[in-house]
Structure 1
Amino acid sequence: MTRSTFVYVTYIRTTSERLWSALTEDAEFMKQYWFGVRCESSWKPGSPWRMLYPDGRVIDSGEIVEADPPRRLVIRWQNQMNPEFKAEGNSFCTMELQPVDKAVKLSITHSIEREASKLIGATAFFWPQILCNLKSLVETGSVVLTEPFADN
């Protein structure tokens, strides 16, 4: 089967431990770079995972497939808001953190076993904005973008 994949790599001046915390454990920090959205999970393999709007509506849900702090996180991810995306089934988001000099290389790979996935097409739009905000927030203390998906 053909796979649809989106890959994004950035370098963030921080430690692997701090970046892991920003990606998983620090819900208030997460809401700043995710435009108010938060993720809930115990971040252990097999545990449920979900992403919520501030009003509590579930955007995405799934399960933690792999967690190796502070190096690698794999999430089974299914959209719950858009019927077309939900019908595509489960995607997988892999986050890999690798120390490089005074920074951490963060690689995000979001993929699904489906040709021409609309979900993966959408991730190519939203991941760069979220990760831009994450990088800026970690390095400077403030986000770059305040309006979610402004150029959509």
Structure 2
Amino acid sequence: MFEAITKPDVARRYWGHENVSDWKPGSKWEHIRANDERTVDLVGNVIEILPPTCLVIAWANASQASDPASYSRVTFAIEEYDMVRLTVTHDEPGAGSGMANGIKQGWPSAKPKSA
């Protein structure tokens, strides 16, 4: 499961985006559309990484990257549970922000996209 988040070629199958970073605390992170344009939709940094059980990143929409108040934090907690249990906690979006409004609907179920 950890590779489904941190390996671009695996993440592409689930999100249609690639998560690109060197995956060290403090490092830059980008969420890039896996299409011909390779548009960077989200940017941020790695806060904490404990493979294969925990990844914490801060992120913002690429258009708001220069505004520290636009960042929110996402924690991916992974634990063995039959197969695997993934708990995603998205916190600190600014009240009424585009990010807060976007996540009100919840994170969609991750299903592999056709290759």
Q: TM-score, normalised by structure 1?
A: 0.63
Identity %: 27
Aligned to 1:11: none
Q: Distance between the aligned counterparts of 2:60 and 2:98, measured in 1?
A: 12
Q: Which has the higher contact order (CA 8 A, sep 6+)?
A: 1
Contact 2:73 / 2:93 at 8 angstroms: preserved in 1?
no
Task: After TM superposition, give the deviation of residue 87 of structure 1 in Å.
Answer: 8.4
Q: Distance between the aligned counterparts of 2:105 and 2:20, measured in 1?
A: 23
Query: Structure 1: which 4+ aligned runs deviate by more than 3 Å?
Result: none
Task: After TM superposition, give the deviation of residue 113 of structure 1 in Å.
Answer: 5.1
2:20 aligned with 1:40: yes
Aligned to 2:47: 65
Q: Distance between the aligned counterparts of 1:111 and 1:120, measured in 2?
A: 9
Q: Distance between the aligned counterparts of 2:56 and 2:10, measured in 1?
A: 20
Q: Deviations over 1:7-46 (max 9, x none)?
A: xxxxxxxxxxxx0011112x222112112x2111011111
Aligned to 2:60: 78
SS at match of 1:29: helix
Aligned length: 110
Aligned to 1:93: 74
Contact 1:61 / 1:80 at 8 angstroms: preserved in 2?
yes
SS at match of 1:23: helix
Q: Mind listing any 5+ residue stretches in structure 1 that lack a counterpart?
A: 1-18, 138-142, 147-152
Judging by fraction of residues, say which structure has more helix: 1
Amino acid at match of 2:72: S
Q: Mind listing any 5+ residue stretches in structure 2 that lack a counterpart?
A: none
SS at match of 1:128: coil
CA RMSD of aligned residues (A): 2.2
Q: Which is greater in Rg? A: 1
